[in-house]
Structure 1
């Protein structure tokens, strides 16, 4: 039986991001000119109805900045953000208001994202009233009760304040608040990273059930590749503000074509003492986004670096349908680095140890 997470969608994009950039001016000591920090530098992707796209990478790679830009919590320096083909990146606050219903967000910290002075019923009722999704007090109360039931909380939870709940319960309230606007897509910005392992699994299963029942699209931002493999349809890998590889779940986890993707996968622990995988160790630290390296931004840490990597920026090009990667290794003939390509493929899956 085929896994639905491996199926490719032919539906038109619900959300489309094209060449998205976010730059910050950083003050410099003395009288020098302000420096530019490139938090997001030319990111593009699409998200269709009912699909989960995961954005992964190390801390500081720009994942959460992409989420904030999509939600217009910050203004992009360049690029386009489209919902159902309509640009929203240049809309005024007034014109953007009806579009906010389409895409909602669940934040990493469920406590700081909920108003501590409001009861849960009022937190959930606020978007219902703001978007005029129910007429009259009784209709609003019914909608709040339905939202609590959707996230598997009792109706009595509406009479309590956020501090009276556990972290997992508060995140359920955050999800219910996102659902209150009846969105087509939800951005999950590290939505499970602050939770215990067992609670993570419950929240991920809840998101999958809601996606199945409501046809939601999920933009799932995370550094936890085990969770990503469980929930996602496609994966976008970011490094230092840029996309370096994007493909369906099976391709990324089974045969990555960028050394950084392979290194991330090789570092995922395997809970089986009789199984090991080849580990790709990266040297050095992540370069500063204020002064990124010339050529490929990953070349200072790449175990397969060669001269071209140091001078020429690799293009994000299509290797096959639905799979793009930005790595000069993919342009090489079989020799002399055919073994490097083999290692990239092997890093995605564990290697059994013969007893």
Structure 2
């Protein structure tokens, strides 16, 4: 992992979706999908963004890609601000950031052969010129994702789910991206295929120096791929740390609950489970104070009225938004496993 200025910087990112109602279609409420998210990703680094469904993690990925305008905040790619960039300039920047979606079948045009699917971004960004160079680049991409070259003349429905996801990865690599956002890229795959795709992404990162934003709801999936983990709950990051610190010295109760739900290889192993009660609150009307206090077994009065901020503690770079850190005698969270 190369250590210098971050490739991607996200500062206080907010995305609120208006809810319209009434005869005149006035804004009656807002969905606070993402509400003040800050992180960075270095070149050659993987940051995993994890949390339950509906926490806003996929919205973060789409906001970075500028698939919609931000409510507030800033996004920088290689030091250049892109959240307010004009469409004409943004087009060239999009060559450097690509996405791999969750469903490999619906994200590929069923009427196009693999050759045409991979040729499309190459032509759009003018990466290669001439039929011979185009074919050579497509064949190189097939080699890169470990698929046979002769498969370029087949349609997406002729491949398995894992193979289709490899095609999706090849398409993301085609324009020469520095950053790839993997939005639940392995959640629709079988366990064995999932492991193969994760290994492939790890190999490609080593070979090409890619930066990855790996969005997932499953901490077990990201454990062997990531360098750092950011845990989201109801639109906010509640804990951010390197992989070792997060899994061995958890500082936020929500992260602990996610970890305690991860299956362990030894069924006889004893572990303390942390079962969360109640449902995730609505992002239309999030709770006051700490947004997790309605489900947290360690909550006290301050949690209900004052919103915690991300604070350093423990290992270097380990941040957590929890009032437990400020108690005179910090309450020690039980081990997840």
> TM-score by structure 1 length?
0.92
What's the offset of the Cα at 1:316? 1.1
Task: Identify the residue that residue 217 of structure 2 maps to in structure 1.
Answer: 223
The answer to whether structure 1 residue 324 and structure 2 residue 319 are counterparts is: yes
The answer to whether structure 1 residue 16 and structure 2 residue 17 are counterparts is: no
Gaps of 5+ in 1: 1-6, 351-355
Report the secondary structure of 1:231's partner residue: coil
CA distance in 2, matches of 1:255, 1:284: 26
How many pairs were matched up? 335
Query: Which of the numbers 127, 134, 140 marks the counterpart of 1:140?
Result: 134
What's the offset of the Cα at 1:30? 8.3
Please list, as runs of the form range in 1=range in 2, the aligned pairs for 1:149-228 lying within 5 A after superposition: 149-228=143-222
What's the offset of the Cα at 1:83? 0.3
Asked if structure 2 preserves the Cα contact closer than 8 Å seen for 1:270 and 1:276, the reply is no
Asked if structure 2 preserves the Cα contact closer than 8 Å seen for 1:104 and 1:187, the reply is yes
Task: Identify the residue that residue 46 of structure 2 maps to in structure 1.
Answer: 52
Asked if structure 2 preserves the Cα contact closer than 8 Å seen for 1:104 and 1:185, the reply is yes
Asked if structure 1 preserves the Cα contact closer than 8 Å seen for 2:3 and 2:43, the reply is no
CA distance in 2, matches of 1:290, 1:252: 29
Task: Identify the residue that residue 238 of structure 1 maps to in structure 2.
Answer: 232
Asked if structure 1 preserves the Cα contact closer than 8 Å seen for 2:250 and 2:333, the reply is no
What's the offset of the Cα at 1:170? 0.5
CA distance in 2, matches of 1:246, 1:91: 28
Task: Identify the residue that residue 4 of structure 1 maps to in structure 2.
Answer: none
RMSD of aligned residue pairs (Cα, Å): 1.4
Post-superposition CA distance 1:182-235 (Å, at most 9, x none): 111110000000000010001000000100000111110001211111100000
Report the secondary structure of 1:205's partner residue: helix
Gaps of 5+ in 2: none
Task: Identify the residue that residue 26 of structure 1 maps to in structure 2.
Answer: 19
Report the secondary structure of 2:54's partner residue: coil
CA distance in 1, matches of 2:101, 2:87: 21
Query: Which of the numbers 309, 312, 321 marks the counterpart of 1:315?
Result: 309
> TM-score by structure 2 length?
0.97
Which is further off, 125-134 or 205-214? 125-134
Query: Which of the numbers 338, 341, 344 marks the counterpart of 2:332?
Result: 341
Asked if structure 2 preserves the Cα contact closer than 8 Å seen for 1:119 and 1:158, the reply is yes
Please list, as runs of the form range in 1=range in 2, the aligned pairs for 1:77-116 lying within 5 A after superposition: 77-116=71-110
Report the secondary structure of 1:208's partner residue: helix
CA distance in 1, matches of 2:308, 2:122: 47
The answer to whether structure 1 residue 247 and structure 2 residue 238 are counterparts is: no
Report the secondary structure of 2:286's partner residue: coil
Task: Identify the residue that residue 353 of structure 1 maps to in structure 2.
Answer: none
What's the offset of the Cα at 1:342? 3.9
What's the offset of the Cα at 1:304? 0.2
Task: Identify the residue that residue 40 of structure 1 maps to in structure 2.
Answer: 34
Report the secondary structure of 2:93's partner residue: helix
What's the offset of the Cα at 1:33? 5.4
